[in-house]
Structures are given as structure tokens and as C-alpha cells.
Structure 1
Amino acid sequence: MTTTRSTSPTALVRPDVRLHQSWAATVLDFRHPGAMHGSGEWHMPEVVATEAGCGDFVAAQLAAESADPAGTRVASTYYWIADGASGEVLGFFHLRHELNEWLLDQGGHIGYSVRPSRRREGHARRALAAGVRRAGALGIERVLVTCDAENAASRGTIRAAGGVLEDVRGTKERYWITVG
């Protein structure tokens, strides 16, 4: 299978209900919300692909950015992966500002998911590079990114970003990227 590279820039944008039409198309492209799991979207409420549903989704994402007192959720920032030229929503991106025990073992600092119809265009690679830079701006010197052991595409994306395999824990490959 050949890889198609988009010539459009990729941007990380903050969740915004003004992008509801493009967001809804992205959600429907995933077929079901659980398919967006790489970006942490699996814990969101049931997604309804309407403007009101987008508003609920944005509110849930923004509310989930704060750490909880129990330490089960760390401070984080949600982004949407977008085509930098058109603004089309292409996927979802989650940057965790620190690691708790589970994130160190399985989840990592960064999770991302690109909609199926826009994969193999380089958007994940460019979004990951932008996310690593944003992590560096937060003072994070090494970023942990994980992927399922059978996910060759994500493995390639992480390695292209400078990821170095530390180990495999269960079904998760754990890569560290030095911010620089």
C-alpha cells in the first residue's frame, strides 16, 4: 500500500463548537466514539453528531483538562487535529502534562487519532511533532508515547518523530521522544 502525503499543513486547534460540521463528519468517519481511543476520547459521553452534541463534547473535553483530586486524571490539554489550510477537523489529540502510574505504564503523555478517510497523509506525523513541541513548552523534556503492539502505522509515526522503544508492557509498546 502506498502512502499519500497531503501538501496541506496540519494544525492542532482547540476544541471549538464553531467547527461542529467538520467535527461531526470526523466523528461519523470513525463510525463509533470508541474508535477514537488513541486520543483519550473513549472516556467521553456518548457522542451525538449535531451542533448541540458538539457543544456537549467540547464542554466535556474542556472540563476533563483539570486534574482530579484522586489523581486518576492529570492536567492535560485537548486539541483537534485540523487541516491548517481549510480548518477541516481531521482527528483528535490529547497532551497530558504529567504521568500518573497508569499513564506511565500504558497511556503516555500523548494520544492521537486521525479519522480513517484522512489517514496515510502525514497528519498524524505532523500532529505528533507539533504536540512534542507543545510538551516542550510545558517543560517536559522527554515525552512518552505508546501504541498497541499490532499498530504498525502508529509505530512508524512514533519512530519518525524520534521515538525510541523502551519496552513492551502487555500489548503496549512504550516509546520515549526527547524534546529538542
Structure 2
Amino acid sequence: MPELIAPTTRLHAAWLEAHREWGPGVHEDGFGLRLSDEVGTLEGFAAWVARLSGAPDRAKVPVRTVYRWIIDGDRVLGGIALRHGSDEAVERAGHIGYGIRPSARRRGVATWALGRMLDEARVLGMSRVLAVCAADNIASAKTIERQGGVLEGIRDTELGLARRYWIEIGGPSA
């Protein structure tokens, strides 16, 4: 049974295994990985996890991000991020971003995780969230639609065509 957890150094080896499955780069949506992050060493991994967990220097950032890892036992299946606030990054990438490792796809993991993050968004007082995916990513589009996403439209972005969905979730008392 999957669960969402805060990033942890305890799963360094399991996270590296998932990262290797994706291949090189920082393309795993939902993990907040930057080119400058050194995740191969335990020290670098710990620094990255500390940054994701809300290190003090993030207090000045207008958009706060909640990162969760999707795990099953000690296996990292993916990551999901909830950005709350508003700025150009939210406008471009949406409030929620997620990625599921290739071997865990097509099992409903993304739909389940998105539903849990919508619960977190509701607790934070958000009444709706923007979810964005590549226009040709039909699996992600279906995931968003399963959680109530309504297509706003398709836009041309610096990364190509992107679908933009709004998901109405109501407030904390909804």
C-alpha cells in the first residue's frame, strides 16, 4: 500500500535506485531536484533533503512548496510537490507537479498521490489548484482529469505545448 512521506535521508539508496531508473538529469517532476544538487553522496543528499524540508533560507521565497515522496515499503515510487502561493513558477508549472518511476506507472499511483495532495491543499486553505502537463502526456492528463481537472486550454511554452487544468477542491471546511 503506497503512502506519502516527507523526504528523508533514510531512503537514500532507494531514491538513488529510482533516479537511476529515470536516467540522468533532473526531470523527475515532484522531487525539486536542481542541477546543482549533489545527491550521490550521503552528505549532498542530506543537504538536498534539508532544502526540500523547508530550510530557513526558503522563508523569503513567495511560493512555499510541500514535497512528498510516494513510497511502498522502502521502495520510492515517485515524488509529488504542492506549490502554494503565486508567482511565475506556479503560472508556468502549476501548483502540483509529480513524477512516477517507469516501473510503477499504470497502477493508479499518480491518481492516488494527486488525491492526497489535493487534501493537503485543502488544509492549506486553497480552493483550487492549477495542474500542468505536456500536451502529449496523455497518462498525466487522464490522472488530472480523474481528480476533477477541467481543461483551461493548451498553451505554447518554452518546453513545448502544455495542457492547463484547474481542479476545484473547496476550502478547509469543504
TM-score by shorter chain over 0.5: yes
Unaligned runs of 5+ in 1: 1-7
* 2:28 aligned with 1:28: no
Corresponding residue number in structure 2 for 1:77: 66
| 1:11 to partner: Cα distance | 1.7
Partners of 1:159 and 1:64 lie apart in 2 by 36
* 2:162 aligned with 1:172: yes
| 1:133 to partner: Cα distance | 0.7
- Give the match's secondary structure for 1:112: strand
Corresponding residue number in structure 1 for 2:130: 144
Unaligned runs of 5+ in 2: none
* 2:5 aligned with 1:16: no
Partners of 2:24 and 2:6 lie apart in 1 by 22
Partners of 1:67 and 1:49 lie apart in 2 by 27
Aligned length: 165
Deviation per CA, 1:92-141: give whole Å up to 9, x if none. 1111112213412x211100011111111111110000001100000000
AA aligned to 1:60 is R
Deviation per CA, 1:33-67: give whole Å up to 9, x if none. 3221x226353524433433431321232339935
Tell me: CA distance 1:68–1:172, structure 2 relative to 1, closer, same or farther (3 Å): farther
- How does the TM-score come out when normalised to structure 1? 0.82
- Give me the identity figure in percent: 38
AA aligned to 1:20 is H
- How does the TM-score come out when normalised to structure 2? 0.85
